[in-house]
Structure 1
Amino acid sequence: MTNVVRSEVNIKETWDLTHLFPSDIAFEEALNNAIHDATTIEQSYKGTIKNASQVIKVLQAYEQLLNKLDPIGNYSSLALSVDQTDEVAQMRASKVGQTYSKINAQLSFIKSECIELNETVLIKAKEQAPQYTIFINKLIRQKPYQLHPEAEKALAAFGTTFEAPYELYNTTKLVDLEFPNFDAEDKSYPLSYNLFEGDWEVENNTSIRRAAFDAFSKKLREYQHTTAKTYDTHLKIEKTEADLRGYESVFDFLLFKQDVDRNLYNRQIDLITTELAPHMQRYAKLLQKVHGLDQMTFADLKISLDPSYEPKITIEESRKYMKDGLSIMGEDYRRMLDLAFDERWIDFAQNKGKSTGAFCAAPYGAHPYVLISWTSRMNEVFVLAHELGHAGHFYLANAKQNIFNAEPSLYFIEAPSTMNEMLMANYLLANSSDARFKRWVISTIISRTYYHNFVTHLLEAAYQRKVYELIDEGGSVSASILNNIKRKVLEDFWGDVVEINEGAELTWMRQPHYYMGLYPYTYSAGLTIATQVSQRILHEGDVAVQDWLQVLNAGGTKSPVELAKMAGVDITTEKPLRDTITYIGLLIDQLERLTEEIEK
């Protein structure tokens, strides 16, 4: 285990940002050109948007500018994400943020003037330029919530300021937080965010794992008040804008952007927290039994059911798993996977200051980028498959759609990623008859795919809903309030099967998702769709694959309900979610049977 600085990592394990800009000089040149183009658009079109042809002309100019701005924003954020301690990257990202705010303020007139037009003019513009239909439809939907043009300009100018809580959260978490070594069994071990979440949290040795959890929690607690105040500021910004725009609640404001109603949101949280809990409690009991634990604690929930069986794999070996496991997606998809490795789309390195977890960014006009901190554990195959699911989605959608139409609703965004995890599991199960291997695969599906997306993120969503309910009532949050809410959510889900030990309540401090709107619940929403479609692919083969590829190509041209319907899933009913929860229960049944068989 290492915790090296960025300059010491193997360059082959890093991504190559020169595909966006060959040098910082080229980046600066592109940024200056974008600033110039924004001013030209403002001077040329402000106050002139009166008819359909002028709507189309300004949208064409705006589209060209967005095509230039997208790689600029990604270049600065990606460089910072691999090393939050890099002052040059910090300054660059800050400069880009300020520039974006200025440009957004300059060009806020585009939406304002278009929205002020009679709807018949906008409909005529759609007919003459169908490529802008999605963008114009969004403008028409926004009409009831649009503010005075000068108010919209002022809000846009404050863009960087409004994003400050998220930046402050990351600075606290990844720069200021310095973890000391911890002791266990008369030895000293290094500790960091990535080491804890990548290694110590899944460590097989109970005394080491629990000592790491205690040391990690102790350090988090020192920053709980700063982090809570940062989060409270973010919540107040969202609530203020929701009120200004005339939404009934902050929920309606945030769900409006996702193009789904409150019923879909609440159903996902309510059904899972009540009906999945008994299945996951059985899984926790099975872990306790197999590991011979006197008591099952929150610090033990991420351990492997059979850690002695889990192989270590290299980055190069992961490539073969990606190609073999996802080969059912077709030859073009396999070629994309080869490019991801050959052209260094993926940042595997572990280093100080690197963002935790994993993500995929998709600069328009370029290829996607994937961040992961590689631990050589076999379960990283599922994490990498997940992020490459995002990459494949964006790669296809960006190629088929313009920049206005490429990105789907946040509600749907996790379906392609979790789909890849399910495809990988299907492949591994189909290619082995060994009981221990089957148990390892199924337990990984539970502990990685479903625990992560249906439990970790869903419990985040249940917690987040309680927080927003408090904010909607005019309240504020503090560290003690957030701790109490989180602890109650965990206790309600795990019952008396798992001890929610001291430090578990601080889990809210670990997630950046709370600064991204109503994002956490969408993991389970996406996985519900992915589970059903992966079963279709398992039983129907290429017909279902082709349907799914059409969904990926569609990008954001359809609503989440329409995209799911294209793939053969009706998310307007409870059935897909109930079927998925039943499927999880059946997987745990298999784990119990396989464990009994192996132990005999």
Structure 2
Amino acid sequence: MKNNSKTKIPTRNEVDDQYKWSLKDMITNPTQWQSIYDQCTKSIKKIATYQHRICESSTTLYSCLTLRDDLFIQFETLYVYSNMNFHEDTTNNDMQILVQKANTLKAKVEEATSFIEPEILEKELTDIEFFISQEPQLKVYTHYFNDLFRKKKHILSRTEEALLAKASDFSSSVQNIFSMYNEADIKFPNIQDDMGRTVELTKGRYINFLESKNRQVRKDAFNGLFSTYNNHRNTLASIYISNVKKHVFYKNARNFSSSLEASLFENNIPTKVYTQLIDTVGDYLPKMHQYIAIRKRALKLDTIDYYDLYTPIIDSIDTKTTYPQAKETVIKSLEVLGQEYTSLLKHAFNNNWIDVYENKGKRSGAYSWGTYSAHPYVLLNYSNTLKDMFTLTHEMGHALHSYYSNKNQAYINSNYTIFLAEVASTVNEALLMAYLKSTTTDQKMKLYLINYFMEQFRGTVFRQTMFAEFEKITHELVEAGESLTADKLCEIYYDLNVKYYGKSMAENDLIGIEWARIPHFYYNFYVYQYATGYSSAIALSQKILNNPSSVDFYFEFLKSGGSDYSMNILRNSGVDMGSQEPIASALDVFSSLVDEMDSIIE
């Protein structure tokens, strides 16, 4: 970067081109963008000619589905390209217009293709199987057809489905109401920061305050945030309870036995996976309690409180990691996956797949994104920290997972589910952690790495499972006809915190209101997938480290995309999420880390 030594955030033009992604690999110029847009418009008109006749024959069915796939691929290219250009500099008005144009096209594409699945479902699966026997090229859609007809028993009549569709606008308002309150309307008090300055407490600054070495700053931030939510507890409870009742309404309408079953049905995940996660994590809670005791001892506290959970217990350590250093270390850590994987990784590093540094107007955070017809890309805001190196390997895990899926699957089977989405990225992180631990001789750095790894377990497995248990309890109460109130929600959540963190934690009633600030509680049994995905990844990484032949199975996982159900894809790679073994195996790693740290911390 041309002004890398300066603290001033550079403009886009001031960033060296070698640190920018090259979106020309997707679309070379505005003329090509418009050409693809025009082709999409033509395809939308053409696909309409199949309405009411898609299942006339195997030929018309195949022609319509391939036309839809081509339309989706073309639209996806426009949509991703426009948004990624916009993310380079969100102040770019031209890109804002392009994004709006792509969003308008998205609505047209969805409307134009909406007739396809209802018309297919008017047939029986045996009819479709007969079509496949007549037209062998339809075989690529076998999993798609099977999954579509699997869901048929919970699809209502046209009239009933139309009624539910009309209700979707106001049924989604519950989440929108919470989002507007939580993102726009809520205001927090001012507190004193580490320098004694009066600053406004915000959600964005909250974690930074909790990481402070000054305990009073941590306490003031905690009290300021949760007291604000607590002042609106009844309103927030009403919003959350309405959301639970919405889920119960839809599970009844579609004839599911529980809201949990209705949610997991979409990806064909048995409810046993959810309940087994809670039970297995519960068996390892004594190890979490032991970790809390270690944290209390390391911080030299008489009593540990919830606002003490995020502050580092290892300080005064240099974790600066430049981008060139990070690339070299990540490559070395992933050599266990073989030359093919690391060669592809080097190719990505050397051919502008990654947008590395922050610039004015650039979207914050990090992600991997791309299209079926081009290689994946990665957006970073690299700031030379060890955490940034973990982010780099994490996002490259996503990118190469997408690369292998797209290269080995037809478009219809290329997209992997959320249940699988975090596996490859976390495998990369686990392999990087193993490499760093094995090559580090500095005891303080080793402690830092151990604690970093343990915090990932705490935040991703234990905390998300606690969230999952809260969702399960609250939905079951409403399904049983029992009343939920603000007090009841706080009581449930408080008791879960005591259960997960142990009785050595201070009795702080304010933690009971934390449920009111978690946006994922409006995503309908979503958070458990963070814990299962992380556990699957740790189990896979252990297999790779302990048995090099497991790499072949891992590559099959990377190449599978969405060609089968998530549980089957994982099972074929050696991880059976139908059993408790992967979760227990991952938590055994956590247990060993706890014991290792316990032996070092005085």
Aligned to 2:257, what secondary structure does the other structure show? coil
The percentage of aligned residue pairs carrying the same residue is: 22
- CA apart distance, 1:9: 11
Unaligned runs of 5+ in 2: 1-6
1:416 aligns to 2:424 (yes or no): yes
1:115 aligns to 2:121 (yes or no): yes
Tell me the TM-score normalized by structure 2. 0.83
1:567 aligns to 2:576 (yes or no): no
1:60 partner letter? T
- CA apart distance, 1:593: 1.3
The one of 29, 45, 50 aligned to 2:51: 45
CA distance in 1, matches of 2:306, 2:217: 14
CA distance in 2, matches of 1:82, 1:472: 46
Residues 341-376 of structure 1: per-residue CA shift (max 9 Å, x gap): 852545764989967x75544443344454566565
- CA apart distance, 1:423: 0.7
What root-mean-square deviation, in Å, do the aligned CA atoms of Structure 1 and Structure 2 show? 4.0
1:465 corresponds to: 472
- CA apart distance, 1:591: 0.8
Residues 26-64 of structure 1: per-residue CA shift (max 9 Å, x gap): 767756654553343123333342333332222111111
1:55 corresponds to: 61
1:196 aligns to 2:213 (yes or no): no
1:590 corresponds to: 596
Alignment of 1:318-333 (within 5 A): 318-333=326-341
Aligned to 1:246, what secondary structure does the other structure show? coil
CA distance in 2, matches of 1:364, 1:581: 36
- CA apart distance, 1:107: 2.5
CA distance in 2, matches of 1:225, 1:35: 49
Tell me the TM-score normalized by structure 1. 0.84
1:257/1:409 contact within 8 Å kept: no
1:251 aligns to 2:260 (yes or no): yes
Alignment of 1:152-301 (within 5 A): 152=161, 172-174=181-183, 182-184=191-193, 186-189=196-199, 192-197=202-207, 199-218=208-227, 235=244, 237-272=246-281, 274-301=282-309
CA distance in 2, matches of 1:25, 1:502: 61
CA distance in 2, matches of 1:87, 1:162: 33
- CA apart distance, 1:71: 3.8
2:210/2:217 contact within 8 Å kept: no
CA distance in 2, matches of 1:182, 1:8: 35
Is 333-342 or 200-209 further displaced after alignment? 333-342
1:145 corresponds to: 154
Greater Cα radius of gyration, structure 1 or 2 = 2
The one of 307, 310, 315 aligned to 2:315: 307
1:546 aligns to 2:546 (yes or no): no
1:50/1:117 contact within 8 Å kept: no
Is 98-107 or 413-422 further displaced after alignment? 98-107
Q: Classify 1:390/1:230 alpha carbon distance in 2 versus 1 (closer, same or farther; 3 Å).
A: farther
Aligned to 2:421, what secondary structure does the other structure show? coil
1:447 corresponds to: 455
2:227/2:510 contact within 8 Å kept: yes
Aligned residues: 590
- CA apart distance, 1:545: 1.6
1:400 aligns to 2:408 (yes or no): yes
Unaligned runs of 5+ in 1: none
CA distance in 2, matches of 1:143, 1:214: 49
The one of 488, 495, 504 aligned to 1:488: 495
CA distance in 1, matches of 2:201, 2:110: 41
- CA apart distance, 1:80: 8.0
Residues 357-408 of structure 1: per-residue CA shift (max 9 Å, x gap): 7554444334445456656542343344333322221221122212321223
Is 492-501 or 156-165 further displaced after alignment? 156-165
1:504 corresponds to: 511
1:529 partner letter? S
CA distance in 2, matches of 1:350, 1:195: 21
2:70 corresponds to: 64
1:247 partner letter? F
CA distance in 2, matches of 1:257, 1:278: 34
2:12/2:88 contact within 8 Å kept: no
Q: Classify 1:228/1:506 alpha carbon distance in 2 versus 1 (closer, same or farther; 3 Å).
A: same
2:4 corresponds to: none
Aligned to 1:182, what secondary structure does the other structure show? strand
